[in-house]
């Protein structure tokens, strides 16, 4: 069974940054790696579910024309909206996957630290929804902690194994560390986009 909203409500009840996204060097380094792994300088539309307090969202907002963020926790949504207040092209919605998947198409979907909170059936639905929402040249980035998390129905290894099994896309990049795995899949195999954009 997927983790319910109460789990996250309890986390945020005692701390506005329960995973220390703002303060831990590990988290800052991981965000920088994620941004460095993106093969394009600029994306038209990005979707980031499970955006938490918006630390990664703020970096993504600098690289796109439209950013749609989502989280199932009201505190997280409020914090992310505050973090993104300077980006008029970014929105943060309250929603839970897979039920509240947006009805837009995206050229980048970022699935970061979300898969292990979902059971295998819900995670498969998210993978299928991602595929149906990608533009013709879209990409999907996934990044997950590798170790088991108490109470979670899956671990990062299982989450990425399902991605490998069910994504009929080209894996452009795999960054594998002792503690997390980061991968990027694309609809069209290609090298790094060399086009320079004024951001």
CATH code, 136 = 3.40.50.150
> Per the domain annotation, does 194 fall within a domain?
no
Is the pLDDT confidence value at 188 over 80?
A: yes
Query: Each residue of 60-118: pLDDT tens digit?
Result: 999 999 999 999 999 999 999 999 999 999 999 999 999 999 999 999 999 999 999 99
Is the pLDDT confidence value at 1 over 80?
A: yes
User: pTM value?
Assistant: 0.93
> Per the domain annotation, does 197 fall within a domain?
no
> Per the domain annotation, does 80 fall within a domain?
yes
pLDDT for the residue 4 = 87
Higher pLDDT pick, 39 / 195: 39
> Per the domain annotation, does 24 fall within a domain?
yes
pLDDT for the residue 196 = 62
pLDDT for the residue 31 = 96
CA 171/CA 169 separation, integer angstroms? 6
Is the pLDDT confidence value at 199 over 80?
A: no
Please answer whether residues 141 and 184 qualify as being in contact, where contact means their C-beta atoms are separated by less than 8 angstroms.
Answer: yes
Of all residues in the chain, the percent with pLDDT exceeding 70 is 95
Please answer whether residues 67 and 61 qualify as being in contact, where contact means their C-beta atoms are separated by less than 8 angstroms.
Answer: yes
Of all residues in the chain, the percent with pLDDT exceeding 90 is 80
- Count of domains forming the chain: 1
Beta carbons within 8 Å of 134's beta carbon, 6+ residues apart: 105, 106, 107, 109, 140, 187
Higher pLDDT pick, 38 / 11: 38
CA 123/CA 113 separation, integer angstroms? 12
CA 173/CA 136 separation, integer angstroms? 18
Q: What is the mean pLDDT of residues 106-133?
A: 97
> Per the domain annotation, does 135 fall within a domain?
yes
Query: Each residue of 28-59: pLDDT tens digit?
Result: 999 999 999 999 999 999 999 999 999 999 99
Average pLDDT over all residues of the chain: 93
> Per the domain annotation, does 12 fall within a domain?
yes
pLDDT for the residue 117 = 94
Q: Provide the residue range defining the domain that includes 43.
A: 5-186
> Per the domain annotation, does 71 fall within a domain?
yes
> Per the domain annotation, does 173 fall within a domain?
yes
Q: What is the mean pLDDT of residues 146-174?
A: 93
């Amino acid at each position: 069974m997927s983790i319910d909203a109460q789990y996250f409500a309890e986390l945020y009840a005692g701390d506005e940054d329960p995973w220390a996204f703002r303060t831990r060097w590990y988290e800052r380094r991981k965000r920088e790696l994620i941004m460095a792994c993106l093969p394009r300088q600029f994306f038209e539309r990005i979707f980031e579910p499970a955006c938490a307090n918006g630390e990664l969202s703020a970096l993504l907002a600098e690289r796109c024309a439209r950013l749609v963020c989502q989280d199932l926790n009201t505190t997280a949504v409020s914090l992310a909206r505050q973090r993104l207040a300077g980006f008029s092209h970014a929105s943060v919605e309250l929603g839970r996957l897979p039920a509240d998947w947006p009805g837009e198409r995206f050229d980048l979907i970022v699935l970061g630290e979300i898969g292990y909170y979902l059971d295998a059936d819900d995670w498969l639905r998210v993978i299928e929804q991602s595929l149906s929402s990608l533009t013709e040249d879209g990409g999907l980035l996934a990044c997950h902690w590798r170790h088991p998390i108490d109470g979670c129905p899956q671990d990062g290894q299982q989450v990425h194994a399902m991605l490998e099994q069910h994504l009929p896309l080209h894996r452009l990049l795999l960054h594998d560390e002792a503690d997390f795995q980061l991968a990027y899949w694309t609809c069209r195999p290609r090298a790094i986009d060399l086009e320079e954009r004024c951001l």
